[in-house]
Amino acid sequence: QKEVEQDPGPLSVPEGAIVSLNCTYSNSAFQYFMWYRQYSRKGPELLMYTYSSGNKEDGRFTAQVDKSSKYISLFIRDSQPSDSATYLCAMSIGSSARQLTFGSGTQLTVLP
Amino acid sequence: KAGVTQTPRYLIKTRGQQVTLSCSPISGHRSVSWYQQTPGQGLQFLFEYFSETQRNKGNFPGRFSGRQFSNSRSEMNVSTLELGDSALYLCASSPLTGGGNEQFFGPGTRLTVL
């Protein structure tokens, strides 16, 4: 079993829809949680960064972390065709173990 | 502020050769990490360098090595290339300020081994 599980999709939604992306994890030591967006043949771009449990909002994006359930989510409101990409969740223990453990990525297509 | 830069962007090598990839972190960032991305295994951590010292290493064979220079620039080397080393190699830099763990990625070097 992988430490971080993510539904690979593909996920296809109409423009303007609310998108929900999720990851589950098994290592309770993870404290830092990130969401990256990766366009085809590009490097991952950091979208959201949260520490421990709670919600964080940035424009159309909201990240939620529920450490008790070992579950993190990314919501995209008013989705746009330009949001079409692969979304990767990533997490780390932090301090002396800073390496990121990634989910497999969810491929999202927003149809105009 | 300029982002993470990686050179070269594309590389074609044959089995048995060695390769060196270069990464320049965001100005002021002192931590550099390397990752390998393949369709089958996804993104996997290779190693992290801070102040010219390797702090963590992922589960990769000794053919994969790296180093960091005093200006925080980093290189990774893969010796005796195998077909399975074909991948996108990504470098990420981190500010390490306030305990922050954000890592910012470069565009990657796409290595093809023939």
Whether chain A has a CB inside 8 Å of the CB on B74: the answer is: no
Distance CA B54, CA B32 (A): 10
pLDDT of res. B101? 72
pLDDT over threshold 60, residue B98: no
Residues B5, B75: Cα–Cα separation, whole Å: 12
pLDDT of A13-32, one tens digit each? 999 999 999 999 999 999 99
Q: Which of residues 17-36 of B touch A (CB under 8 A)?
A: 31, 33, 35
pLDDT digits (tens, 9 = 90+) for B27-82: 999 899 999 999 999 999 999 999 899 988 999 999 999 999 999 999 999 999 99
CB of A62 within 8 Å of a chain B CB? The answer is no
Q: In chain A, positions 22-41, which contact chain B (CB-CB < 8 Å)?
A: 32, 34, 36, 41
Cα B62 from chain centroid (whole Å): 15
Euclidean distance between CA atoms A74 and A7, whole angstroms? 13
Q: What would the mean pLDDT of B1-26 be, rounded to a whole number? A: 96
To which residue do tokens 């990464």 refer? B23
Asked if A100 and B35 come within 8 Å (Cβ–Cβ), the reply is yes
pLDDT of residue A41: 87
Residue B99 banded pLDDT, cuts 50, 70, 90: low
Measured in degrees and rounded to the nearest 5, phi and psi for residue B93 equal -115, 155
Mean pLDDT of B92-102: 74
Residues of chain A with pLDDT under 70: 95-97
User: What's the rounded Cα separation, in Å, for the pair A91 and A104?
Assistant: 12
Sole residue written with tokens 């074909």: B86
CB B74 within 8 A of CB B25: yes
What per-residue confidence (pLDDT) applies to A94? 77
Which residues, including other chains, have CB under 8 Å from residue A23's CB and lie 6 or more apart? A4, A5, A6, A71, A72, A73, A89, A103
Check the CA dihedral A77-A59-A93-B37 and report its sign. positive
Answer whether A96 touches B (CB < 8 Å).
Answer: yes
Residue in A6, A33, A100 to test binding to B, most B beta-carbons within 10 Å: A100
- The residue with tokens 């290779």 is B46
Spell out which residues of chain B touch residue A102, defining contact as CB-CB under 8 Å: 42-44
Q: What percent of chain B has pLDDT over 70?
A: 96
The predicted pLDDT at position A15 comes to 97
